[in-house]
């Protein structure tokens, strides 16, 4: 790899990881299309869907680990949610990660396209009664429906394991819309759950040989720099602005991915 190519991958990692920390997503919804399209746009040899899913899996692992560490204080991490959702999504991501080996690149891209559509639809469902000041700073009182939460996060883990994502871009609207959890707690807790999910996804991608190591290392370096900065900014931003930014990112990604799938 040339210096210019490494620099481009590093910049992609900075953007994705910054958004990851700020919005409570692993960065896959941003980095997957960026890694798939940007290198080719600049005249480099592009990555295939398998390689992109492998790089993204490793990036999500380190970006979410860094983000959770930055959120470890302040009472935003809901331990019960992390336990219930983390176990379910880990099992799903392990199964999805191993299963991705049997799918074609077109199927992997199609699964990703379906996931971003679901995320986009859920983000437009009205959210009510989740942003009072007390609940936005105390997570311990939240008691989610355990069976429903487990089933939904298992399915998210299964699908996200296929594309190398941690699933945070689906966890975010799920927690906001279905479980009615305040935005700041959703951001912190979804980072923790996504980190657990990314353990299964990363391990499986490494085992089946879908991770190009040098680009992955470059992305990881960017993640360790940009994700904590994103967390610091996200803590200070209005919850509605954070939601608006994520909706915009999901919409742009949805349009681009489906344009390519259909053409």
The structure tokens listed for 175 are 């927690």
For residue 30, the surrounding DSSP H or E stretch is helix 28-41
CA–CA gap between residue 195 and residue 61 (Å, rounded): 6
The single residue listed with the structure tokens 């960017």 is 222
Lowest mean pLDDT among 22-26, 42-46, 238-242: 22-26
User: Do residues 171 and 153 touch, judged by C-beta distance below 8 A?
Assistant: yes
Q: What are phi and psi of 110, to 5 degrees?
A: -65, -45
Q: Specify burial of residue 45 (Cβ count, 10 A radius: 0-12, 13-18, 19+).
A: exposed
For helices 49-70 and 183-207, give the axis angle rounded to 10 degrees.
140
pLDDT class of 24 with cuts at 50, 70, 90: low
Q: Residue 125 carries which DSSP code?
A: S
Over 50: is that where the pLDDT of 15 sits? yes
pLDDT tens for each residue of 187-244: 888 888 888 888 888 888 888 888 899 999 998 898 888 888 888 888 788 767 877 7
pLDDT tens for each residue of 107-157: 888 887 888 788 778 767 765 545 544 444 555 566 778 888 899 899 988
pLDDT tens for each residue of 28-41: 777 888 888 889 88
């Amino acid at each position: 790899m040339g210096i210019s190519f490494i620099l481009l991958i590093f910049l992609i990692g900075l953007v994705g990881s910054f958004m990851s920390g700020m919005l409570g997503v692993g960065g896959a919804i941003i980095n997957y299309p960026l890694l798939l399209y940007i290198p080719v746009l600049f005249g480099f040899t592009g990555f295939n869907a398998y390689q992109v899913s492998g790089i993204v899996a490793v990036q999500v692992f380190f970006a979410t680990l860094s983000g959770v560490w930055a959120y470890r204080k302040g009472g935003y991490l809901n331990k019960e949610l992390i336990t219930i959702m983390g176990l379910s999504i880990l099992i799903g991501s392990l199964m999805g990660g191993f299963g991705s080996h049997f799918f074609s690149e077109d199927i992997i891209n199609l699964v990703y396209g379906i996931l971003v559509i679901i995320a986009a639809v859920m983000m437009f469902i009205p959210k009510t009664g989740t942003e009072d000041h007390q609940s936005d700073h105390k997570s311990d009182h939240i008691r989610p429906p355990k069976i429903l939460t487990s089933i939904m996060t298992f399915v998210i883990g299964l699908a996200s394991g296929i594309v190398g994502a941690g699933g945070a871009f689906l966890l975010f609207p799920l927690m906001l819309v279905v479980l009615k959890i305040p935005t700041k707690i959703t951001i912190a807790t979804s980072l923790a759950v996504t980190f657990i999910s990314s353990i299964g996804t990363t391990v499986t991608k490494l085992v089946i040989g879908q991770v190009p190591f040098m680009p992955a290392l470059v992305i990881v370096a960017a993640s360790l720099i940009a994700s904590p900065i994103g967390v610091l900014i996200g803590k200070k931003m209005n919850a509605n602005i954070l939601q608006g930014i994520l909706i915009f990112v999901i919409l742009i990604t949805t349009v681009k991915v489906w344009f390519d799938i259909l053409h």
